[in-house]
Amino acid sequence: MIRAADIHDLDALYELEELCFAERRFQKEHLLYILKNPRAATFVFENGGVLGTLMVLDERVVTRVLSVGVHPRHRREGIGTQLMRVAEDTARRFHTTEVRLEVNANNPGALAFYKALGYEVMSRLPRYYSWGDDAFAMRKPIAILARKP
């Protein structure tokens, strides 16, 4: 089940960050900032515990995926795909025209995952990450649902 996260999920979010991103993860203070940010939305995938997370930010014209993480023992079970669908649904709720994200250029699995979901590479961002790795900027146009009268 996917649900909106709140402040009570902070410890679980941080634990999953540690599992998913052994290095270069969000610090607890940054996760708290995202949870409290009125222009951000955080979701968790639960099944006997928090197995996946999604954090997005409304940038008015686009919705930016800040982070997607799936517990290492539960990858390739469709959790990431479900979370990315939530990102796209959230973009529609924000009335933005596309979802954007950055992915480490040294992570071919993640790049293939996003491409399979219809995301396209816009550009390569040299030394994007603080540790010096390049990233690919990716995007997917989102059809905005018409508002009901």
Q: How much is the CA Rg of the chain, to the nearest whole Å?
A: 15
For residue range 98-132, what is the model confidence (pLDDT) as tens digits? 999 999 898 899 999 999 999 999 999 998 887 88
Q: What is the pLDDT of residue 23?
A: 63
User: Helix, strand, or coil here: 149?
Assistant: coil
Residue 92: the pLDDT is 92
- Fold of the domain spanning 2-141: Aminopeptidase (3.40.630)
Give Cα 62 distance to the centre of its chain. 13
CA distance 93 to 58: 10
Domain ranges of the chain: 2-141
Helix or strand holding residue 28 (H, E)? helix 28-36
The answer, yes or no, to whether residue 18 has pLDDT greater than 60, is: yes
For residue 146, name the pLDDT band (cuts at 50, 70, 90): low
Residue range 72-81, pLDDT digits in tens = 899 899 999 9
Residues 64-107 have pLDDT tens digits of 999 999 998 998 999 999 999 999 999 999 999 999 999 989 88
Q: Report the pLDDT averaged over residues 43-69.
A: 93
Structural contact between residues 138 and 103, judged by C-beta atoms closer than 8 angstroms: yes
In angstroms, the CA 16 to CA 22 distance is 10
pTM: 0.89
